[in-house]
Amino acid sequence: MEFYSLLQGVIEVSISLVTGLLIFFTSFKVFTILTRDIDEVEQLKKNNIAVALLVSSFVFGIMLMVKSSIAPAVEALSLAIHKGAGGSILNSVLRVLIIYVVAAVFAFIVIWISLKVFMILTKDIDEMEEIGKNNYSIALVLTSLIASIALIMSKPLETILQSAVPMKFAAANAPLIEKNLLMAGAIQMLISFFGVIFILFISLKTFDLLTRNIDETAELKSNNFAVSVLLSAFLFSMMLIMQGPIGSANGTLLLSLQQKAGIAGISIAIGKILLYFIMAAVFSFIVLWIAMKAFMMLTSTIDEMTEIKNNKTAVSIVIAVLLISTALLVASGLPSLLEGIVPLNRILTNIPKP
């Protein structure tokens, strides 16, 4: 039996369980306070599925982002335990707790602002009013938004938290905060935040234009769940595909900071991240659209779009599974494809020095 590994595991599980429950409960309570126009507890008692979807996805999104803090927290704890100093272990446990709390607060703010910004952009729909009326179709679209935000933002958050790992355990003269990691994570977070919301909004509008026989806004207002399932799956699948290449592009920014490339080098790195973001979004949209249309052509015995317009949820579930499956399969090849178009490796070795 490995004592240090056992001790680390017991501490990790205990901290994660306690903080997880507290974060879940606190997030739920704060969310209900901020949404004053909806009494979540009363609506849940009335079996309002839309409210249940929104609240649950909001809290789950926070927990998904908090999960990104596990790696930095475990690294901090592992360093302290293997040093074998009691004081260092206690300090590290405290640092782990702080990392979890910071991650939770940050995740809450990011997801809340994302929701508010998206609601401002979609002026044709009053989402909170519709959810109060138990419009679970609109709630599902917001659920996909929250899941997408949490999925894309987890990596920048992990980079930010990684900068706070107590490296003094590894080296006596190491700083408490790694400035390059902190700055890289912060810039990635800003780009990802605005990029995801903008891409989701544009994709929503483009999807609406391409499906001329379905008015998505009107169908969502009428609580057409089949349309909601299709739309939500399409948007979330885009984020699944985009996750890989965005992570690859973020490496150029960190390297430019580590090499002290100056304003020019950092600007080039940021430009490449933005370019990859746009290219990944366009590629994922086209691939998913082609996959969906090709499947519909092969299944000539059924007109899927007509059935979905008629709120046939079973048909939309099949298409949703197709989209998510396609995203999972295509996601691994997209970084290589974009690397062939815009070679990051060449850019990394040619970042200008001041």
pLDDT of residue 151: 85
pLDDT of residue 91: 67
Residues in the chain: 354
Q: Looking at the chain, list the stretches that DSSP marks H as alpha helix, in order from N- to C-terminal side.
A: 3-34, 40-45, 49-66, 70-83, 86-121, 127-132, 136-162, 179-210, 216-221, 225-258, 262-298, 304-309, 313-330, 334-341, 344-349
Query: And the tokens for 285?
Result: 């949209």
Give yes or no for residue 258 having a pLDDT over 80. no
CA-to-CA distance for 204 and 199, rounded, in angstroms?
A: 8
pLDDT at 146 over 80: yes
Measured CA to CA, the distance from residue 345 to residue 352 in angstroms comes to 14
Amino acid residing at 38:
I
Per-position DSSP letters for 312-345, written without gaps between them: -HHHHHHHHHHHHHHHHHHTTTHHHHHHHHS-HH
Query: What is residue 193's three-state secondary structure?
Result: helix
Q: What are phi and psi of 260, to 5 degrees?
A: 55, 55
Q: Is 345 exposed, middle or buried (0-12, 13-18, 19+ CB in 10 A)?
A: exposed
| pLDDT tier at 176, thresholds 50, 70, 90 | low
Measured distance CA(144)–CA(320) in Å, rounded: 12
Question: Is pLDDT of 168 > 50?
Answer: no
Q: What's the average model confidence in pLDDT over 200-223?
A: 86
% of the chain surpassing 90 pLDDT: 18
Residue reference for tokens 């089949």: 226
CA nearest 56: which of 31, 38, 20, 22? 31
* DSSP codes of every residue in 78-108: HHHHHHT-HHHHHHHHHHHHHHHHHHHHHHH
Of residues 263 and 305, which shows the higher confidence score?
305
| CA 215 from centroid of its chain's CA atoms | 27
The mean pLDDT value for 230-243 works out to 89
Q: What is the pLDDT of residue 318?
A: 94
Q: Which of 4-13, 112-121, 152-161 has the highest mean pLDDT?
A: 112-121
Q: Is the pLDDT of residue 172 over 50?
A: no
Task: Please tell me the predicted confidence (pLDDT) of residue 289.
Answer: 94
Per domain, the residue ranges of the chain are: 1-177, 179-354
Residue 64 corresponds to which tokens in the numbers above? Answer: 């998904």
pTM: 0.80
Interatomic CA distance for residues 304 and 297, integer angstroms = 10
Asked whether the predicted pLDDT for residue 247 surpasses 80, the reply is no
Give the residue carrying structure tokens 């379905």: 214
| The token pair that represents 130 in the structure block | 């519709």
For 63-96, b where at least 16 C-beta lie within 10 A, e where not — what string? Answer: bbbbbbbbebbbbbbbbbbeeeeeebbebbbebb
State the Cα–Cα distance between residues 349 and 259, nearest whole angstrom: 10
Return mean pLDDT, the chain: 79
pLDDT in the model for residue 210 = 84
What pLDDT was estimated at residue 301? 87
Q: Are 109 and 31 in contact (CB under 8 A)?
A: no
Contact of 32 with 108, CB cutoff 8 Å: no
Backbone angles phi, psi at 290, to 5 degrees: -65, -45
